Amino acid sequence: MLATRCASGHKPRVIPAPVSRIARPLAARPALVAPVVGAAAAAGFQPLALWPLTLLALAWLLAATRGAQDWRHAALIGWLWGLGHFTLGNNWIATAFTYQAQMPAWLGWIAVALLSLYLALFPALAALAARLLERRTGADSRLAHALAFAACWIVSEWLRGWLFTGFPWNPLGAAALGGFDRPGLARALPWLGTYALSGLVVLLAAAWLGAWRMALARRFAPATVLALIPAGLMLLPLYGDPAKGTLPFTLVQPNITEDVLNNPANFESQFRKTALLSLPRHPGERRLVLWPESGIPDFLRTGYPQYLYDETTFAADPVMARERIGRVIGRGSLLLSGTQDLEIRDGRILGARNSVTAIDADGAIRGSYAKAHLVPFGEYLPLRWLLTRLGLSRLVPGDVDFWPGPGPRTLDLGDSAKGGWGRIGVQVCYEIVFSGEVVDEAHRPDFLFNPSNDGWFGAWGPPQHLAQARMRAIEEGLPILRSTTTGISAVIDADGRVVSHIGHNVAGRIDGSVPPAHAPTLFSHLGNMLPLGWAIGLLGLSLVATRRRAR
């Protein structure tokens, strides 16, 4: 038998002899194994979607941090686990460095490593807090530890999405999302929220750990039941066909790759390619036309210095540019497209806005939205005064930084039942990953439009981005339409199903009707107070489990 004792004075933990030959080297050096196990957990995200590896890797993390010598070692194991987890999960960031000339491409992997060093602090925080709670309460209960760890994970993941503007990419709950035709365990998002779903995934991993321990004790029947429960929940089907909507749309994916997208010599050919995919099937048909982020290279607003208009191949006059767009989409149509607006004072460009502009068939601007959550190093350079001296720059071409917009807004473009185009919430690209920050609840939209340019992000970024958009749809009970430059563009219903899509690196269009919204969800009313409330509840249950154990 192999026995271990915690520095906190807990009872010895005994591992049966047949297992000790495998467990002894891993138990003696968990810090060496932790990065590899953390990377295995990231395999549960898209595009691999190997969720059993996520549960197994979390089960190992629970056992390793609880069995650590003290809280310092628990935090170290959590940090090393997170280092491997975020390095693999965010590998797509390195691809972005291959599309600019001002910095070497190899710097992309340095950026991934540095970001992972920071992001790994959040799993370390969860492990540290759970261990300190266990020590403070004198608990020696695996159930109490699992409940406390799940609660701490919820809080740490929420902090990751908030501190320093936040980077909530790939929450643990994303591994619980099923295939295109079913949301799986993510069906619980309206009642949990994304961060509490991540806590539930931790508890499912704890169930597998418990099943393993039961199997070692030759309690095979309860071990089998306990192992099958998480699997059954992760594979939950979704019954019924997608509901039909009434607002017609045409969604376009032009497949304009990043290596040519920002070259002015290609602007006219890019416009023509997008325009040909957008032509109406029938003259005068009423529809909403959706183009991606970076969909229009021309400046569409008046009042800029003339040299800026002259830099494009067509739009020396912004009014002419808008009228040409109106002729493309045809009578009865309205276009929503990614554009750029400038902030100019005294003839000087001070900043830019990554915007979505609504243009009708007459070429009139009917509304606009400016992106609020900007991408560090992509749309602005933090600490510019220092980093430029070190030779760093933005990944997106341009000499000025983008400025953030005011946050979620709903474009009211008229009642769709009376010939309008509905109330449309807009989230540009990366913004869609911020749970609880995508909808103006005072003016709840009929659906969300998520234009994006995913051409930067290789093979892993686009499917992960789509997965997180699906989570927002379920969480808020709203359909989401995604138009991207190179894929994956998709129509997502309010249950998180991908009703139709255009694959990666394919040019095409989707014609259909916008799926209907559900009634406002519990999460849409409470926002991230809901998952934080679940964290408090789990901590309370942990204390109850501790006291029952003490008796």
Residues labelled as active-site residues: 293, 371, 429
Contacts 24+ apart (CB under 8 A), 492-495: 493/242, 493/243, 494/518, 495/183, 495/187, 495/238, 495/242
Pairing of strands 423-426, 287-290: unpaired
Residues 6+ apart with CB under 8 A from 92: 457, 458, 459, 460, 461, 464
Residue 141's nearest CA partner among 199, 28, 72, 62 is 62
Residue 340's nearest CA partner among 368, 378, 316, 314 is 368
Q: Counting beta carbons within 10 angstroms of the beta carbon of residue 136, is it exposed (0 to 12), middle (13 to 18) or buried (19 or more)?
A: exposed
Q: What gap in Å lies between CA 243 and CA 359, rounded to an integer? A: 28
Residue 371's nearest CA partner among 357, 390, 391 is 357
Give CA separation, 125 vs 75, 117, 129, 147, in Å. Answer: 7, 13, 6, 15
Q: What gap in Å lies between CA 236 and CA 96, rounded to an integer? A: 36
Residues 6+ apart with CB under 8 A from 44: 50, 51, 52, 53, 54, 55, 174, 175
- Both structure tokens of 542: 């942990």
Residue 156's nearest CA partner among 189, 192, 123 is 123
